[in-house]
Structure 1
Amino acid sequence: MPETTIPELPQELWRAGKLELAHGVTHLLQVMRVALAGMGKYLAEVESRGTEDLFGYGSAASWLADVARISRGDAQDMVNRALALNPAPSVGGAGAVFAPATAAAADDGAIGEQHIDLILDILRKIPSDVPMDERDGVEKILADLARNAGPKEIAEVGADLLAHLDPDGNEPKDPEPKPPRREVFVERRKDGFWKLSGLLDPETGARTAAALDAFGAKRPVDEFGQADHRTMPQRRGDAWADLLDLAIACPDQPGTSGYRTLVHVTVGLDALKTGLGTACLDFVGRITAREARLAACDCLMIPVVLGAAGEPLDVGRMKRFVTPAQRRALNVRDGGCAFPGCHRAPKHCHAHHIRHWADGGPTDLRNLVLLCSFHHRLIHHGDWQVRMAPDGIPEFVPPQYLDPLQVPRRNTLHRVAT
């Protein structure tokens, strides 16, 4: 191993010229690499004598992790390099070195850990039936190349050499590729919210992220100057709800057959009319009666009559509130969310009853309007009002704090100018 000394740093490094700076970096880099190679010899010796007998540790890696205050994984990598570049213990003395040419380059300080790991990885991929002289020739080519080349060149040359030694490659173990790994966990919390987590394969994950980003884009500033202040997680949560609506609304979707929501109403009719009280949505947990009113606008409804003790006395027939034909007519008339300034397309909208069915409102076109999920909730829970104008087009009355005169407004974004 060549002797190396650490050069003295100038007291005022800012005065150094570019050649001095370059020389200092390259020299210290060589010193570091030589020091690592020297430490590898010590580690190989510790491993050969037995770490438990020497220091009471089960392995050299665990001992080194404590001594160097590094992770167990990094320590194991250092020990593995040391064992590959130094003689293995054998009966009667030192044995052969797994990668002697690579070890010589490391002793000279010409290559570092990244070069060494690449070369060792390539050597371990050489088939066992390749003659030893050919294997040694490959290692010498890679070690000599690494003295003046970067990792990319080593990897490319190594791949070419492996292809030459084994043109047919490894025999496939599986006749067919394994299915992608996908896991989704849905857990209901004590507070009624649901926790969603999982693991997706790269392709499905990329498609999911793209869909959430597309559906979770910020809403444009509306004509009232109101901006979208939702955080990214909040926008993605709303996007997830929109994607579920799209999936459930598909006619071929199993279970719901294209119906947006299936609601089992377990709330008294008076509570449903007033919006006061609680309801049970599809037997998954309690919601407010106001939420039940919102869900019932565009869904299948199964009324459940409960007795005084809460026992089911009668389960009514399933009723469809908005027919497919009415939905198509709404799509043509409103062209999307009818709320002023909203760009959402029909496929992202619910059919809202202007006069709720629980209040005696009919399910016909003059009592229906398309609203996206955000504006649907705004109409149910906010101070905006919607009504049907004499010409059969829905219009919206803003609250007094936005417009003291409460002038009705329409969405003109979906209509072609005439």
Structure 2
Amino acid sequence: AFADGALTAGQVATIAPITGEEQRAAAEAQGVDLGAVDRALTEVAQSPAHERLAQAVHHYLEALDPDGVEPDPTEGRRLSIAKHADGSVTGRFDLDAVGGEKVQAAIESIVQANRPQGDTRTRAQQNADALVQLCDNQLAAGSLPTLRTVKPHVVVTIDVDDLADTDTTGPAAARTGFGARISAARARWLACDATISRLVMGPGGLPLDVGRDKRVVPPHLRRAVEQRDGHCVFTGCAAPTHWCDVHHLREWVADQGETSLDNSALLCERHHTKVHHGFRVERQPGGRWRTWRPDGTEILIGTPLLV
């Protein structure tokens, strides 16, 4: 079939393990017609269900040794993360069936719980947003193992002048804990709901003074915002409070916005990002929240949320 151009080299490589010495010996001992198996797998490879070829080969090989020792599924697990020049990352993981099921179940729970009306994201985008939200939730819960007595969190270091200079985006002005360089604008967005620490550096690059950590949004104010808003206030989104950041309607750095109930809004990670990229939310006197796109048009239920 391969010689005739009906199969790809990749499909041949997928089927090839059935012809290994041990596999052929096991097939002969059990009276298996290897030619019939070969033809059946070739048919699968040429059928509309060709994406299941690897699964079919796996089932056949398992059937050759039904009483064999169950392999340790954790031995084959792999996760690699490659970092690019702009700080973005590309990843690949290989998981066994049970590990993969757990990951899919966790991501699916976030995807299905956050399906605002008019959502135009692809499934790949939904999965990626769900993965970030899942990590965001876990970090916020404070239940992850500590790192040298400190709870794991996102760390960003930025010079105070770059933080305060709101007239420019400040490319590569801030550094994250894992070494990525991000803009001052992005650092200001992260600082919207964060803990701020002040360090005074000497001419030799050594810290002269370390100030106390200060929470931008204190716990009592967050409780009040959660009680008032109930969920993400971006039109069409109902992400629960524990997914959300407290956003300053008037930015506390750029616009000297005060940290108060009137100047606060609950926004999930994705929509908090959108609001810092041109979208706008506003609370009406009667308590209703409204959302506008960067072009000034209002987002209404039943219209696409993003453009």
Q: TM-score range by the shorter chain?
A: 0.5 to 0.7
Is 1:376–2:297 an aligned residue pair?
no
Q: 1:115 to 1:241 in 2, by over 3 A?
A: same
Q: 1:348 to 1:114 in 2, by over 3 A?
A: farther
Q: Deviations 1:57-83 (Å, cap 9, x if unpaired)? A: xxxxxxxxxxxx9986455459945x9
CA distance in 1, matches of 2:146, 2:119: 35
Which residue in the other structure is 2:116 paired with? 220
Which residue in the other structure is 1:113 paired with? 34
Is 1:247–2:144 an aligned residue pair?
no
Q: Specify the SS of the correspondent of 2:79.
A: strand
Q: Specify the SS of the correspondent of 1:214.
A: helix
Give the residue type in structure 2 aligned to 1:233: A
Q: Deviations 1:232-275 (Å, cap 9, x if unpaired)? A: 22221111110011101113333389989544432333544505
Task: Please say if residues 195 and 216 of structure 2, whose CA atoms lie closer than 8 Å, have aligned partners that are also in contact.
Answer: yes
Q: Specify the SS of the correspondent of 2:100.
A: helix
Which residue in the other structure is 2:48 paired with? none
CA drift of 1:330 comes to 1.8
Is 1:198–2:93 an aligned residue pair?
yes
Q: Deviations 1:350-387 (Å, cap 9, x if unpaired)? A: 111122222433323222210112221121111x3344
Unpaired runs of 5+ in structure 2?
A: 1-11, 38-59, 302-307
Q: 1:263 to 1:74 in 2, by over 3 A?
A: closer
Is 1:237–2:237 an aligned residue pair?
no
Unpaired runs of 5+ in structure 1?
A: 1-68, 86-97, 103-110, 117-151, 160-168, 222-226, 412-418
Q: How does 1:346-361 map to 2 (within 5 A)?
A: 346-358=241-253, 359-361=255-257
Give the residue type in structure 2 aligned to 1:207: K
- Cα RMSD, aligned residues only: 4.4
Give the residue type in structure 1 aligned to 2:269: S
CA distance in 1, matches of 2:155, 2:192: 11
CA drift of 1:399 comes to 5.0
CA distance in 1, matches of 2:296, 2:141: 38
Which residue in the other structure is 1:106 paired with? none
Task: Please say if residues 264 and 303 of structure 1, whose CA atoms lie closer than 8 Å, have aligned partners that are also in contact.
Answer: no
Q: How does 1:387-402 map to 2 (within 5 A)?
A: 387-390=282-285, 393=287, 395-396=289-290, 398=292, 401-402=295-296
Which one has a larger percent helix, Structure 1 or Structure 2? 1
Which residue in the other structure is 1:266 paired with? 158
CA distance in 1, matches of 2:204, 2:131: 38
CA distance in 1, matches of 2:251, 2:275: 12
Task: Please say if residues 111 and 127 of structure 2, whose CA atoms lie closer than 8 Å, have aligned partners that are also in contact.
Answer: yes
Which residue in the other structure is 1:280 paired with? 175
- With the length of structure 1 as denominator, give the TM-score of the two structures: 0.50
Q: Specify the SS of the correspondent of 1:243.
A: helix
Q: Specify the SS of the correspondent of 2:92.
A: strand
Q: Specify the SS of the correspondent of 1:216.
A: helix
Q: Deviations 1:174-206 (Å, cap 9, x if unpaired)? A: 9xx968444433332333222323333322210
Is 1:333–2:228 an aligned residue pair?
yes
Q: 1:354 to 1:273 in 2, by over 3 A?
A: farther
Task: Please say if residues 266 and 304 of structure 1, whose CA atoms lie closer than 8 Å, have aligned partners that are also in contact.
Answer: no
Larger Rg: 1
Identical amino acids, percent of aligned pairs: 32
Given candidates 298, 301, 305, the residue that maps to 2:193 is: 298
Task: Please say if residues 174 and 183 of structure 2, whose CA atoms lie closer than 8 Å, have aligned partners that are also in contact.
Answer: yes
Q: Deviations 1:292-326 (Å, cap 9, x if unpaired)? A: 11111222222344568876554432111223332
Task: Please say if residues 349 and 372 of structure 1, whose CA atoms lie closer than 8 Å, have aligned partners that are also in contact.
Answer: yes
Which residue in the other structure is 2:280 paired with? 385
Give the residue type in structure 2 aligned to 1:265: T
Q: How does 1:116-265 map to 2 (within 5 A)?
A: 180-181=74-75, 182-217=77-112, 219-221=115-117, 227-255=118-146, 261-265=153-157
Give the residue type in structure 2 aligned to 1:398: W
- With the length of structure 2 as denominator, give the TM-score of the two structures: 0.65
Task: Please say if residues 284 and 290 of structure 2, whose CA atoms lie closer than 8 Å, have aligned partners that are also in contact.
Answer: no
Give the residue type in structure 2 aligned to 1:344: A
Is 1:366–2:262 an aligned residue pair?
yes
